[in-house]
Structure 1
Amino acid sequence: MIKKLFMTSALLLLSACTSVPDWDYDKSVEFANYKTFAWAPNADLKGSINDYQINDLMEKRVRSAISQNLSAQGITLVEGDKADMLVNYHASVESKLEANTLNTTYGVRWNYWGWGVQTHTTTREYDVGTLIIDVIDNASQQLVWRGAKEGRLRTKQTPEQREAEINKTVAEILENFPPKTQY
């Protein structure tokens, strides 16, 4: 029984840590017209934050994942002035605090009567990263689509694990580009 309770609690905790991508877009835009893209001049992960995981290696992984996803949709990378849309991306890292409290009760014991409650609280600090991908209409220079996903940053990963995680995150963000449901 205790093992089932522990497993259920662990699954609930893990499911609470997963993040669903968030999207927003301009409903008046005809996204089918976008056939080419270029990188926005200010597309850079490192520009806004100071975190050891955000570096040139991660920058290459993000660009590669975005290029692969857009290419799979038939959108071609071209020079900036020839592009239908510009793609910008950025990241943020935020420290969060998690607190867990465990309450235990006890009852009758030898030479001792009564009820008691013992509380044990643990806290843990962790980092949450958010990757944001913006699509800008090149002709109007207006933001037309934004997707974002946040998740816990993990340390001690191999380069292959980091690449797989970035590929998965970018694919989840771009899952709704172009928007599949128009309001």
Structure 2
Amino acid sequence: MFKHIVLTALLLLISACSSSPDWDYDKSVQFGNYKTFAWAPDAKLQASASDYQINELMEKRVRAAIAQTLSSQGIALVEQANADMLINYHASVESKIEADTLNTSYGVRWNYWGWGVQTHTTTREYDVGTLVIDVIDNASKQLVWRGAKEGRLRNKQTPEQREASINKTVGDILQNFPPKVQ
């Protein structure tokens, strides 16, 4: 049952509170030479046995968002043997704790010595999801670019809201692919 709850949370991964994407890449690679892509053989949201399960709906949304974003950049989806680069992706979920402390009252008592402060602390556990997209050079089989974005997961979204969230997150991650030369 817990895995199903986490699955639901992961489905909402992309609708998380916004964070800035993180990128890393090989500066020696000529990214302008990449015109085609294919899915890496192990491209799926569950990258290892320790990752959470994802349903096929989320898998389709992530693939569609990546394919659409790359296509809009003029990079075509082809068979693996003909691809310049391979795209891999995976997701993870991590539980975090948030604590808020509020001074609810304070003051001085006149009938005896002392100072009183009353505080109230509340804690909440929440899940943070991370989506990672990797670009692998098909000829060398080496990782040449990685982008990731994390955010706080939200519950109770419609399929349309989930799709919009995924599209935005994938777009945010891939906004720096190919990397901007500085």
| TM-score calculated relative to the size of structure 2 | 0.84
Q: Does 1:29 align with 2:32?
A: no
Could you list the per-position Cα deviations for residues 139-160 of structure 1 after superposition, in whole angstroms to 9, with x for gaps in the alignment? 0000000000000111111111
Q: Does 1:84 align with 2:84?
A: yes
Residues 101-110 or 30-39, more deviating? 101-110
Match of 2:131 in 1: 131
Letter of the 2:72 partner, please give it.
Answer: A
Match of 2:151 in 1: 151
The aligned runs of 1:1-183 (5 Å cut-off) are 18-48=18-48, 49-50=51-52, 54-107=54-107, 115-182=115-182
Distance, in Å, in 1 between the alignment partners of 2:60 and 2:133 is: 15
Match of 1:13 in 2: none
SS at the partner of 1:131? strand
Residues 25 and 145 in structure 1, CA contact (< 8 A), matched pair in contact too = yes
Distance, in Å, in 1 between the alignment partners of 2:170 and 2:137 is: 20
Give RMSD over aligned pairs.
1.7
Q: CA offset at residue 113 of structure 1? A: 8.0
Residues 108 and 116 in structure 2, CA contact (< 8 A), matched pair in contact too = no
Residues 107 and 113 in structure 1, CA contact (< 8 A), matched pair in contact too = no
Residues 132 and 146 in structure 1, CA contact (< 8 A), matched pair in contact too = yes
Distance, in Å, in 2 between the alignment partners of 1:165 and 1:139 is: 33
SS at the partner of 1:59? helix
Distance, in Å, in 1 between the alignment partners of 2:135 and 2:100 is: 40
Is the alpha carbon distance of 1:113 and 1:105 closer, same or farther for their aligned partners in structure 2, counting shifts above 3 Å? Answer: farther
Residues 46 and 55 in structure 1, CA contact (< 8 A), matched pair in contact too = no
Residues 109 and 116 in structure 2, CA contact (< 8 A), matched pair in contact too = no
Residues 107 and 114 in structure 1, CA contact (< 8 A), matched pair in contact too = no
Match of 1:8 in 2: none
Between the two structures, name the one with larger relative contact order (CA 8 Å, sep ≥ 6): 2
Q: CA offset at residue 108 of structure 1? A: 5.7
What is the count of residue pairs matched by the alignment? 164
